[in-house]
Every structure is written in structure tokens, then in C-alpha cells.
Amino acid sequence: MSSSIFDGLSPSEVARIRSAGTTLTLPQGWSPIAEQTPADKAYILEEGEVSVRRRGQEVAVLGPGQILGEAAILNRSLRTASVVALTPLRVIHLTGETLERLVVEVPAFGEAVRSATAERQGPS
């Protein structure tokens, strides 16, 4: 996946999303999302790579421009996977409430988030 969650958004929309979140740096090996836990935050990767794991098995590697943790928030479900930092990360941290608000208030972002979620979940 080389596309970014910000592709197709205007510079002002990107600035609005960035300013709504908090930029954090996380160390290699850190696990910001744990499988089967409640969903209260999402992250947009700005730098670094993460391993997405289900039941301990890697199912994807995500890099800059990707969003993670959004599906469980939007689906109001427990996390379906854990995320582990393969490298040091710089991320935009979004609370669940902030993500839900941005999806509604910035329609192009909402569409990009729903598309990313659907792509990862695959056919039902």
C-alpha cells in the first residue's frame, strides 16, 4: 500500500485533521493497539512501519500515510488485531470521538477512512 489517507484531500482538510490530533513519537517494539481490547483511539502513520497481527500472526505491514485502529471505532467493536512498531514511529493520535467527528465533518476524509477499512476487511 503506497497510497496515503490524505490522498485526494485539500491542504486545508489535511491541516484540519493534523490539528485535531496529537503528534506522538513511539519507540520500536511498542504496541499501541492490542487485539480484543476496546477501541478508543486511532493513529495515522507519518513515519515508520508497523506489523498488524491477528492471533500472533502477521497479516500486514503498514507504513506512512496509513491509518490504523479506525475499523473498531467505526464498527463499535473490539480490536481485531494488534499493532507492533517495527521501527520508531511518528503518528497522529486521534481519539475515537475526534475520528468520528472528522469522518462526518470532512467528507473526503470519511470516504478515505471507509475505503481503507473496507480494503483491509476484504470481501465478506
Which CATH number fits the domain that encloses residue 109? 2.60.120.10
- Element (H or E) spanning 70, and its range? helix 70-75
Has residue 1 been placed in a domain?
no
Has residue 5 been placed in a domain?
no
Q: Which pLDDT tens digit goes with each residue over 21-63?
A: 999 999 999 999 999 999 999 999 999 999 999 999 999 999 9
> Residue 116 carries which DSSP code?
H
Has residue 4 been placed in a domain?
no
User: Structural domain tally of the chain?
Assistant: 1
Has residue 6 been placed in a domain?
no
Range of the domain at 99: 11-121
Q: What is the pTM of this model?
A: 0.91
Summary mean pLDDT of the chain: 93
How far apart CA 57 and CA 112 sit, in angstroms, is: 27
